[in-house]
Amino acid sequence: MIDSLDDLPASYPADCVFDVVLRDGSTIRIRPIRPSDGDGLQGMLGQMSRQSVYHRFFKVKDRLTPDEIETFTRLDYRDRMAFVAERGGEIVGVGRYHRLGGAPETAEIAFAVIDAQQGKGIARRLLQLLASYARDQGISAFEARVLADNHVMIRVFRNAGFSLRRELDEGVYTVQFPTEGSAATAAAEQEDEKRAVAASLMPIFYPSSVAVVGASRDPLSIGGRLFKNILNGDFTGPVYPVNPHAEVVRSVKAYRSVLDIPEHVDLAFIVVPAAVVIPAVKECAAKGVKGLVIISSGFSEIGPRGRELERELLEVVRSAGMRMVGPNCMGVLNTDPAVRLDGQFGPHVPPPGNVAMSSQSGALGVAILDYAAQLNIGISSFVSVGNKPDVSGDDLLLYWEDDPATDVILLYVESFGNPRRFARAARRIGKKKPIVAVKSGRTIAGARAAVSHTGSLASLDVAVDSLFRQAGVIRTDTLESLFDVTALLANQPLPAGRRVGIVTNAGGPGILAADALSAQNLEVAELSEALQDRLRIVLSPDAGVSNPVDMIASAGPAQYAACLEELFTTDEVDAIVAIFIPASPLGADETVVAIRDAALAHHGAKPFLLVYMSAVGAHEAIGDGEHRIPTYPFPEQAAWALAKATEFAEWRARDEGTVPVLDGIDATAARAVVERALFRIGDEPGWLEPDEVGAVLSAFSLAMPRGEVVADEDAAAAVAASYGTPVVLKVVSESAVHKSDIGGVVLNRRSEDEVREGFRTVWAAVPDPEGVLVQEQVAGGHEVLIGMTEDPTFGPLVVFGLGGIYVELLGDVAFRIPPLTDVDAAEMIGEVKSAPLLRGYRGGAPGDLEALRDALLRVSALIELLPEIVELDLNPVKVRLPGEGVSVVDARIRVRRIGGPWVPSRRDVPSEL
Ligand code: ADP
Ligand code: MG
C-alpha cells in the first residue's frame, strides 16, 4: 500500500500525513500525492458526476490523459503540490496548487471530491492543509478559478474563514485570498475540528447497541466483569456477547463472531488477547461498527513489538474510518440516563453528576472511580484512554466542551499528544467550564544536555505551572487535591472575590483556617460593626463575632443556621467556610442537617465549604443528591480548594489581550539567513554565527549594539576607534558557550592599548579561537533574559527572567506558550519575583518596560514565523531607562532543518489524532 521510499522523489514530504476527522465523525487520511497515484486519480474521476467533473476541469471528460496524469502526480512539492484524501485505500479527493510564473507569491489552487463524499468538509480540510503548506513555501496568496454556479466551492472558501476578493469574468469567478489565516480562519478551523471530533465520538458515548468481543463466563476475568457491568448498569440498548466457546454468557445468547450478530452494532468492546485483536477489529470493520474500546493490553506499553502491533491496529482502525479508545485501557462510562453505559471493568460506579473524567492510567482509573463513588462526586462520563494512539485526552476535551451533562472536566495526564492544540483548546474551554488536571512534576534532565541558559531553565517544574495558568487549567499534584477542588467546582458557584467568612464551633481550627486562607492569599474579611451586632443577637454571649466567627463549643443547629443565614445574605464576604467539630456525639447529626439546610437554602449564592473535623464520614460531599456541599476533613484542604476556585474565577474574568501586529518585521529576510545557515550546518541542529544572529534579530527590529567580528589586533583597534565608545571584546569559538566563565569576555576597553591587550586575553581564553567580536559597550541597564526553548512536553516556550548570569541560580523565571498576547507579555514581566527591580526598587534606576514588552512580543513573533529555531537565548538583554529602549548584548540561536520542505510537527496542524 505504501510505496517504498526509493520510489518517492527526494523532496517528497513524507511526514505530511494527517488523519483528519470529518464533519460526519468519520476519519480520512490526507497525504501528499505520489507518482504512483495515477490509477487512483483515474478511479476517482470515475466516481465523479458529470457536473463535478465539469466544475473541476471546465469540460466533461471520462479519463485523464497520460499527460494529465503526469502533470498531476509528478510534482516538486514546492512550486507544485497536491494532497489527496484517501479512504479505504481509494482516493476520494484531491487539492492542488501551482505557483504562478508571473507572481511567485501567488499560487492557483483547484479541488475535486467524489460526489459520494461531498459535504463532509474534505475540500475544506484539503484547503487548510494546502494553505498551511504553501505559507511555508513563501506563497502568500491563493487564487482559484471557480465557475459561477459552483456554489459548493465558493461556500468552502467562504466558510473556511478566508476573506475573498472575487472577480467575475465570462462565468468564471477568480477568487483570491491570503494563505495567512486570519482570526476568522482560525476560529472556523477550531469550530470545525470541535464539531467533527465530537461527532466522531458519539458512537462511543451514545451507542445504540454494543458488542463485547471476549465476553467471558468467568466472573473474575476482565471480559466477564465488563460484560456484567454493562448488564448491571442497565444499558438502554441491546448488548451482544461474542464468544466462540460459549452459547450463552450470563443468560444472553452469544455469537461466534461480530459478523454473526443479526443486528447493527455501533460500539464494540474488545477484550481478547493482543494477538487476536486485529482480526477481531477487522471483523468489526466489516460489520460496520463505528466505535471501538480496546481493553486488551500487550501493545506499545510492552516495547517495540507491541508498538508495531499498535501501529498496525491503528492503520486498520483509521482505514475503516472508526474511532478507537485504548488499547490497554479500562473502558468507558456514561451515566446519562439515555444510555447508562457502564463499559468499564472496575468494581465501582460513582453516582451520576456533572463531572467528566479521563485517565491515562488504567489502574488509577479504578482508583479514581472508587474515590468519586466514596466522596459522592457525580460523574457524567469517564474514559480511560490507555495508550491513546487514536482517541486522546485532547479529543475528549473537545467532546466535553459542548457536552451539556458536563460542568467540570478532570484529566489525569502523563503526556500531551499535541501541547499547542491542548493549550489552545483548554484556553477556550476554560471560559465555559473549569478543567482540572493532575500532572505530576517531572524532570527532563538527561533528555538532552541543556547548553544555553534557557534550555536548562525549562526543566524547572515551574514551566508546567506557568503554562497551565496561562491556559486556565487548574493544576493539582495529588489525587486528593484533585477531588478537593473538584468537589467544590462541581457543586458550588465560583467566588466573586477573595473575601472569606469563617464560622466555627472551636477556636483552634478557626485560626488554622484563617492562617491557611491567608497563606493562599485569600482574605479573612473584617466584618462590619452592624453585622457583628446582628451575630451577637443570635449567638452565645461568649462567642467571638469577628472573623473567624467563633460560636464556641456549645453552638448547636440553631446557632449554625442563624449565623450562616447572616453570612449568606451579607455582601461582606464572597465565600463561606464552616467548621464543625462534633464535640459531643449528641446532636452532631442534627447540626450537620442544620448546616446542610442553611447552605442548600442559599445554594448558588456564594461558594460554601464545610470542614467536618471527624475521622469518620468526614470527606463525603453531603447534600440532596443534586446539590452537594463539598466537605473536607481539614481546613487546609478547604482553603486550598477555595484558592484554586478563586484563581480560576480571576483567570476567567481577566482580559486575555491580543497578539499585536508588529511593524518592522521582515520575516523573508530572516528566513533567507536561516536557510543559508542550514545549508552550512546540515541536518543536525546547529548554532548560527554571530553575524547571522545579528541579521535575524535586526530583521525583527530587536536592537543590538554595533559590533564586528575581527581576526587580529589591528582590526580590533580600528573597529574600536571607529565606534569612539568603550567596547567589549568577546571571543568567538565553537567551544565557548558561556564565554565569560572562561575569561572570553573583557569589558570597558577604551584606549588602543586596552583594546589590543583585551584582544590577546580573550583570544588566549580558548583553544580554538575563530575571531573576536568587538562590540559597543552599553552603559547601565538591568540585565534580563529572554529565551525560547522547545520543551518535550509543551513544544516551544518563551522564557523571561531577571538576573543576567545569575538567572539559573535564582530560577526566577516565567514561561509562556507562544504566540504571546500583549497581556501575556506584561504578565510575564510582572510574574517574576524580582520584577520590582525593573520599576525602580528603593531608589534604583527603573527600566524601559514598554520596550521590554515589545521585545518579548518580537521574540514570540520570531519563533512563530521561523519554526526552524529550536533554541534562542538573549542573555543579557539590557533594559535601559524609560524611553531609552532595550539592547540585546549577547544572543545565541540554534536552528534545525525541519523534515522535508515543510514543517508539519509544530505549527498549524489542523487535526492531529
Ligand atoms: P557569555 O554569556 O557568553 O558569558 P556575554 O556576551 O553575555 O557572554 O557577556 C557576559 C557579560 O558581560 C554580560 O552578562 C554583560 O553583563 C556583560 N556585557 C557583555 N556585552 C556587553 C555590552 N555590549 N555592553 C555592556 N555589557 C556587556
Ligand atoms: Mg550571555
Of 459, 443, 461, give the one whose Cα is nearest residue 451: 459
- Mean per-residue pLDDT for 332-340? 95
- Mean per-residue pLDDT for 464-489? 85
- Mean per-residue pLDDT for 730-751? 90
For a ligand 1 pocket test, name from 872, 889, 893 the mutation site with the most ligand atoms within 8 angstroms of its C-beta.
889
In this predicted structure, which of 367-376, 444-453, 624-633 has the lowest mean pLDDT? 444-453
CB 164 within 8 A of CB 157: yes
Q: Which residue minimizes the CA distance to atom 2 of ligand 1?
A: 738
What are the distances in angstroms from CA 330 to CA 163, 354, 360, 389? Answer: 46, 21, 10, 15
Query: Looking at the CA of 805, which ligand is closest?
Result: 1
pLDDT reported for residue 88? 82
Ligand 1 midpoint to CA 780 (Å):
12
pLDDT reported for residue 424? 75
Which atom in ligand 1 lies closest to the alpha carbon of residue 804? 14
pLDDT reported for residue 380? 96
Give the tens place of pLDDT for each residue, 139-195: 888 888 877 777 777 777 777 666 666 676 666 777 788 887 666 677 777 777 778
DSSP 107: E
Alpha-carbon span 253 to 217, nearest angstrom: 12
pLDDT reported for residue 161? 67
pLDDT reported for residue 446? 31
- Contacts of residue 217, Cβ cutoff 8 Å, sequence gap at least 6: 224, 243, 246, 249, 250
Which atom in ligand 1 lies closest to the alpha carbon of residue 776? 23
Q: Which residue minimizes the CA distance to atom 13 of ligand 1?
A: 876
Ligand 2 midpoint to CA 891 (Å):
7
Which residues hold their Cβ within 5 A of ligand 2, which is an ion?
A: 875, 890
What percentage of the chain's residues is helix, strand, coil (to nearest 5)? Answer: 40, 20, 40
pLDDT reported for residue 1? 41
pLDDT reported for residue 904? 34
HEC letters along 321-374: CCEEECCCCCEEEECCCCCCEEEECCCCCCCEEEEEEEECCHHHHHHHHHHHHH
Query: Band of the pLDDT at 856, cuts 50, 70, 90?
Result: very high
Give the three cell numbers for residue 739.
Answer: 564565554
Which atom in ligand 1 lies closest to the alpha carbon of residue 876? 14
Cell 477531588 sits on residue? 483
Examine the pLDDT at 727 and tell me if it is beyond 50.
Answer: yes
- Contacts of residue 235, Cβ cutoff 8 Å, sequence gap at least 6: 210, 339, 340, 341, 342
For a ligand 1 pocket test, name from 454, 745, 786, 888 the mutation site with the most ligand atoms within 8 angstroms of its C-beta.
745
Ligand 1 midpoint to CA 876 (Å):
7
- Mean per-residue pLDDT for 891-907? 61
Give the three cell numbers for residue 450.
Answer: 541543556
pLDDT reported for residue 175? 78
Examine the pLDDT at 890 and tell me if it is beyond 60.
Answer: yes
Query: Looking at the CA of 874, which ligand is closest?
Result: 2
Give the pocket of ligand 1 (CB within 6 Å). 705, 728, 730, 738-740, 745, 747, 775, 777-778, 783, 804-805, 876, 889-890
pLDDT reported for residue 443? 45
Which atom in ligand 1 lies closest to the alpha carbon of residue 736? 3
pLDDT reported for residue 20? 83
Q: Which residue minimizes the CA distance to atom 11 of ligand 1?
A: 740
Ligand 2 midpoint to CA 753 (Å):
25
Backbone φ and ψ for 247, nearest 5 degrees, come out as -80, -35
β-pair partners for 269: 212, 293
Which atom in ligand 1 lies closest to the alpha carbon of residue 707? 23
Please give the mean pLDDT across all residues of the chain.
86
For a ligand 1 pocket test, name from 740, 750, 892 the mutation site with the most ligand atoms within 8 angstroms of its C-beta.
740
CB 377 within 8 A of CB 486: yes
Ligand 2 midpoint to CA 668 (Å):
27
Query: Looking at the CA of 773, which ligand is closest?
Result: 1
Ligand 2 midpoint to CA 458 (Å):
17
Higher pLDDT pick, 468 / 272 = 272
Q: Which residue minimizes the CA distance to atom 18 of ligand 1?
A: 889
b/e sequence 254-276, b meaning 16+ C-beta within 10 Å: bbebbeebeeebbbbbbbbebee
pLDDT reported for residue 561? 95
Higher pLDDT pick, 338 / 587 = 338
Examine the pLDDT at 913 and tell me if it is beyond 60.
Answer: no
pLDDT reported for residue 285? 95
Total-model pTM: 0.74
Measured N-to-C along each axis, helices 183-205 and 393-401 cross at an angle, to the nearest 10 degrees, of 100
- Mean per-residue pLDDT for 793-820? 77
Query: Looking at the CA of 774, which ligand is closest?
Result: 1
Share of the chain above pLDDT 70, in %: 89
Give the tens place of pLDDT for each residue, 505-521: 999 999 999 999 999 99
For a ligand 1 pocket test, name from 706, 890, 893 the mutation site with the most ligand atoms within 8 angstroms of its C-beta.
890
β-pair partners for 384: 359
Give the tens place of pLDDT for each residue, 267-297: 999 999 999 999 999 999 999 999 999 999 9
Give the three cell numbers for residue 419.
Answer: 501541547
Ligand 2 midpoint to CA 844 (Å):
23
In which order are the strands placed within the sheet that holds 745-749?
707-710, 771-776, 727-732, 745-749
Query: Looking at the CA of 781, which ligand is closest?
Result: 1
Ligand 2 midpoint to CA 501 (Å):
50
β-pair partners for 816: 798
Q: Which residue minimizes the CA distance to atom 15 of ligand 1?
A: 876
Query: Looking at the CA of 776, which ligand is closest?
Result: 1
Ligand 2 midpoint to CA 846 (Å):
22
Q: Which residue minimizes the CA distance to atom 23 of ligand 1?
A: 777
Examine the pLDDT at 622 and tell me if it is beyond 80.
Answer: no
pLDDT reported for residue 456? 55
Give the tens place of pLDDT for each residue, 51-69: 888 777 777 778 888 888 8
For a ligand 1 pocket test, name from 728, 762, 773 the mutation site with the most ligand atoms within 8 angstroms of its C-beta.
728
Query: Looking at the CA of 740, which ligand is closest?
Result: 1
In this predicted structure, which of 160-164, 635-639, 787-791 has the lowest mean pLDDT? 160-164
In this predicted structure, which of 152-161, 338-347, 375-384, 501-510 has the lowest mean pLDDT? 152-161
Give the three cell numbers for residue 551.
Answer: 460560636
Ligand 2 midpoint to CA 661 (Å):
29
Which atom in ligand 1 lies closest to the alpha carbon of residue 737? 3
- Mean per-residue pLDDT for 555-578? 95
CB 566 within 8 A of CB 538: yes
Query: Band of the pLDDT at 373, cuts 50, 70, 90?
Result: confident
Which atom in ligand 1 lies closest to the alpha carbon of residue 805? 14
pLDDT reported for residue 809? 61
Q: Which residue minimizes the CA distance to atom 5 of ligand 1?
A: 890
| Dihedral over alpha carbons 757, 758, 759, 760 (to 10 degrees) | 60
In this predicted structure, which of 13-22, 80-89, 224-233, 352-361 has the lowest mean pLDDT? 13-22
For a ligand 1 pocket test, name from 747, 762, 875, 884 the mutation site with the most ligand atoms within 8 angstroms of its C-beta.
747
Of 299, 282, 295, 284, give the one whose Cα is nearest residue 346: 295
Examine the pLDDT at 900 and tell me if it is beyond 80.
Answer: no
- Mean per-residue pLDDT for 236-264? 96
b/e sequence 741-763, b meaning 16+ C-beta within 10 Å: eeebbbeebeeeebbbebbebbb
- Contacts of residue 315, Cβ cutoff 8 Å, sequence gap at least 6: none
Alpha-carbon span 48 to 46, nearest angstrom: 6
Greatest distance between any 2 Cα atoms in the chain: 100
Ligand 2 midpoint to CA 804 (Å):
7
Give the three cell numbers for residue 709.
Answer: 567580528
Ligand 1 midpoint to CA 807 (Å):
14
In this predicted structure, which of 371-385, 766-780, 874-888 has the lowest mean pLDDT? 371-385
**Which residue type occupies 66?**
P
Ligand 1 midpoint to CA 696 (Å):
19
Of 767, 722, 713, give the one whose Cα is nearest residue 744: 767
Cβ count within 10 A of residue 592: 21
Which atom in ligand 1 lies closest to the alpha carbon of residue 727? 23
Examine the pLDDT at 616 and tell me if it is beyond 50.
Answer: yes
What are the distances in angstroms from CA 88 to CA 578, 657, 865? Answer: 61, 45, 36
Ligand 1 midpoint to CA 794 (Å):
30
Ligand 1 midpoint to CA 890 (Å):
6
Alpha-carbon span 895 to 475, nearest angstrom: 33
Q: If DSSP codes are grouped into helix, strand and coil, which group holds residue 516?
A: helix
pLDDT reported for residue 555? 84
pLDDT reported for residue 619? 59
- Mean per-residue pLDDT for 219-239? 95
Examine the pLDDT at 570 and tell me if it is beyond 70.
Answer: yes
Ligand 1 midpoint to CA 635 (Å):
50
Query: Band of the pLDDT at 420, cuts 50, 70, 90?
Result: low
Q: Which residue minimizes the CA distance to atom 7 of ligand 1?
A: 890
pLDDT reported for residue 903? 34
Ligand 1 midpoint to CA 490 (Å):
52
664: left (phi over 0), alpha (psi -120 to 50) or beta: left
Query: Looking at the CA of 737, which ligand is closest?
Result: 1
